[in-house]
A and B are shown apart, each in its own frame.
Chain A
Amino acid sequence: MSAHSFAGNTAIVGIGATEFSKNSGRSELRLAVEAVKAAIDDAGIQPSDVSGMVTFSSDTNPDVDIARSLGMGELTFFSRIHYGGGAACGTIQQAALAVEAGVADYVVCYRAFNERSGNRFGAGVQGRPPLANAESAHLATYMPVGLLTPASWVALAAQRYLHMTGATSEDLGTIAVLDRKHAATNPKAWFYEQPITMEEHQASRWIVEPLHLLDCCQETDGAQAIVVTSKERARDLPQRPVIIQAAAQGSGAGQDMMTSYYRDDLLGLPEMSVVARQLWETSGMGPSDMDAAILYDHFTPYVLYQLEELGFCAKGEAKDFIQGGRLEIGGELPMNMHGGQLGEAYLHGMNGIAEAVRQVRGHAVNQVESLENIVVTAGTGVPTSGLVLSTDR
């Protein structure tokens, strides 16, 4: 595979978000507009400089409504990516591709929703109409049986993983306790100053065995936006450039949407392996070059899978890799310093990208010392995406 031409030549120059809450009290579109405006301000550009917009196909906020709201004027690039949270890092890749190709100079990626006070993903898909199309028919396999929620879809794979690798519920708890520890010192996190203990994790009620309540991320109202442009333009802007060293999407063999239960085994996320291979080849770096990681943590089990697929440890060994404070700040691979989606907010992975940007800039609240490179992943269990972000050097 040849190196992606945008890699190393594009950069993130602005980030903006609303507060993260359980009831925003305003429309999803209003949240989107606020976040996009904040990101544009952070980048030090004008709305009229923006000519491209990228979001998730599951986002309800039309790019043109945001453009009209902020007086952006003309757009020359607009794109949407499918597969829920798997789209997160893919939005940055789309933006970088457009910038590198000269299709747009500044592209804003955004995600906004009232996912807690409005349409809760955790409530289940039982109300979806049985339309005669392939997306509905996919759910047909699970709806009449009662396998209705993301937690249940992940749990059915995770039970097999725990059985085969010997990982335990306490190992999953290690991830939850770590994220909540980091969130406890992040004032923007919903769970600011609310760390949990392993005992509390174990005592939390079952949602879907083998997942406890504290294995599941929170639900959030909020919005996050991110501005991408070329490295050359980035060097003339106020923020320290955050270089997109690599950005990749991946769908694996036997891929399904959350329910890839028919592959040879259920012990991996082959789609994340497809992403990892591209990230390392494109960036010319490897796991040992990463100073920190932001790994998608809607549910704790897939964090273990990701450590393995990204090559931080061998298959089945994540349960050992996560021990001994390795993922804490000051450890070998600090992870989810903002608190992750378990601790800070569930913004479909976009808040994790923003945290990686703050870490590269060097002004995160839980800053990793001397950080140069960081890997970020998007939603798991679905076709997904990832990033390697670096300092300008």
Chain B
Amino acid sequence: MTQDHSHSLAELVGQSTGPPWVGLDPVNEPMIRHWVEAMGDANPIYVDAGAALEVGLESVIAPPTMLQAWSMVGLTGTLERDSQRGQVKEIEHPNDRMMRLLDEEGFTSVVATNCEQEYLRPLKPGERIAVSSVIETISDVKKTGLGVGRFSTTRSDFYVVDDSFPEDPEGRTNAITSAEHVGTMRFRILKFAPGAQAPTMPPRPRPAITQDNEYFYEGLKAGKLLIQHCTECGTLRHPSLPGCGACGSLEWDTVESAGAGEIYSFVVVHYPQVPSFEYPLPIGLIALDEGTRIVANLDLDVDSIAIGMRVQARIDKLDDELSLPIFISAAS
């Protein structure tokens, strides 16, 4: 980290990212049709007024997941906004300031990590959507699989506005407080320094390798999550054993897991704190869809973890000798 802007960044939390803006087009049927065709969504209430009436709606509605689409300003809109901003360069909106400060900390790369949306009511053709955003959180410096960086979550609130919605930034900021709130989106990004690892963290404890479990660690190094498979009766087993508990056969090979499963149980470790790990440390017992269970790390917000949650394995190379499966939300 070249500079530490922790204090300046903390001051940005809770601030609006800039004045509210309005999408270029109102909610409209042609765009809805393009969307559902692209998504393969056959629900008739998005395109057939009769079907919508039948379920008690006044008209067709937009798919809820289009929420953000109605606020997008398109290529041209973006350019116009940027050129306007260029004319008043002395105004640095909080979002721009956050990105600049993070760049100065050396976190020059960006990746979107999560997007959560909440829909308060369906949107109908003809409605105009305005958006106001605030910086909700900026994390401490974290070590991630991508590199060291900070997470930032922006909360956007979506409103239905009419033609009287003002053009000037100040007027919009005032007018939006009385507009109808129809949805919320939390968008989380990681700004990071690519490839930079926290220098103080020692490597994780080494697994003991025998002829019985070597396939598992070699498989992970090759990017594969392997499960032992009895070639006599077909039963899968994990962790490794030389024989099959179902039939007693010593003959086996492996199958590759798709890495999909659900959280069967989990813990969050707080103490003791071993320098090779970050705490609190969430660890899951994952029931893989193939039928075996596996203990693995979870790359999930600690508060979001629940038994039954669907997860997906990602294989992380921790160092030259060790790769491990890390489970993330199947929804992300």
Chain A positions near chain B (C-beta within 8 angstroms): 122-124, 126-134, 136-149, 152, 155-157, 159-160, 163, 205-210, 254, 259, 261-262, 266
Would you call B274 and A146 a contact (CB within 8 A)?
Answer: yes
Q: Please choose the segment from B72-80, B180-188, B199-207, B248-256 that sits at the chain A interface, where 4 or more of its residues have CB less than 8 A away.
A: B199-207
Would you call B271 and A159 a contact (CB within 8 A)?
Answer: no
A132-B208, A136-B208, A209-B280 are known; give 20 further A-B pairs, CB within 8 A: A124-B272, A126-B205, A130-B206, A133-B208, A137-B208, A137-B210, A138-B239, A140-B207, A141-B239, A141-B295, A143-B207, A144-B207, A146-B283, A159-B267, A205-B271, A208-B269, A209-B268, A261-B295, A262-B293, A266-B264
* Choice from B213, B269, B292 contacting A140 with Cβ under 8 Å: B213
Contact partners of A207 in chain B: CB under 8 A = 270-271
Q: A152-B267, A262-B292 are in contact. Are A134 and B324 (CB under 8 A)?
A: no
Would you call A208 and B324 a contact (CB within 8 A)?
Answer: no
Contact partners of A155 in chain B: CB under 8 A = 267
CA distance A130 to B324 in the complex (A): 17
- Which chain B residues numbered 269 to 301 have a C-beta less than 8 Å away from chain A? 269-272, 274, 276-277, 280-281, 283, 285, 292-293, 295-297
Contact partners of A259 in chain B: CB under 8 A = 295
B265 at the interface (CB under 8 A from A): yes
Binding site secondary structure of chain A: loop
Would you call B295 and A132 a contact (CB within 8 A)?
Answer: no
A213 to chain B: closest residue by CB: B271
Would you call B208 and A142 a contact (CB within 8 A)?
Answer: no
Would you call B208 and A159 a contact (CB within 8 A)?
Answer: no
The interface centre, meaning the residue of B213, B265, B268 with most chain A CB atoms within 10 A of its CB, is B265
Would you call B210 and A132 a contact (CB within 8 A)?
Answer: yes
Minimum CB–CB distance for B294 against chain A, Å: 9
- Which chain B residues numbered 173 to 205 have a C-beta less than 8 Å away from chain A? 204-205
CA distance A366 to B271 in the complex (A): 34
Would you call B210 and A147 a contact (CB within 8 A)?
Answer: no
* Choice from B209, B270, B297, B307 contacting A163 with Cβ under 8 Å: B307
26 CB < 8 A contacts A-B: A124-B272, A129-B208, A130-B205, A130-B207, A132-B210, A134-B210, A136-B208, A137-B212, A143-B205, A146-B281, A146-B297, A147-B283, A148-B272, A149-B269, A152-B283, A156-B265, A156-B283, A156-B285, A159-B265, A163-B307, A206-B280, A208-B267, A208-B269, A208-B271, A209-B270, A262-B238
CA distance A325 to B204 in the complex (A): 46
A266 to chain B: closest residue by CB: B265
B245 at the interface (CB under 8 A from A): yes
Would you call B266 and A156 a contact (CB within 8 A)?
Answer: yes
B240 to chain A: closest residue by CB: A137
B260 at the interface (CB under 8 A from A): no
* Choice from A123, A126, A163, A254 contacting B265 with Cβ under 8 Å: A163
* Choice from B266, B274, B285, B296 contacting A148 with Cβ under 8 Å: B274
Contact partners of A163 in chain B: CB under 8 A = 265, 307
* Choice from B245, B264, B267, B277 contacting A254 with Cβ under 8 Å: B245
Minimum CB–CB distance for B189 against chain A, Å: 27
Would you call B209 and A144 a contact (CB within 8 A)?
Answer: no
B212 to chain A: closest residue by CB: A137
Would you call B270 and A145 a contact (CB within 8 A)?
Answer: no
Would you call A156 and B209 a contact (CB within 8 A)?
Answer: no
Contact partners of A157 in chain B: CB under 8 A = 265
Would you call A209 and B265 a contact (CB within 8 A)?
Answer: no
- Which chain B residues numbered 80 to 102 have a C-beta less than 8 Å away from chain A? none
B146 at the interface (CB under 8 A from A): no
CA distance A131 to B207 in the complex (A): 9
A138 to chain B: closest residue by CB: B239
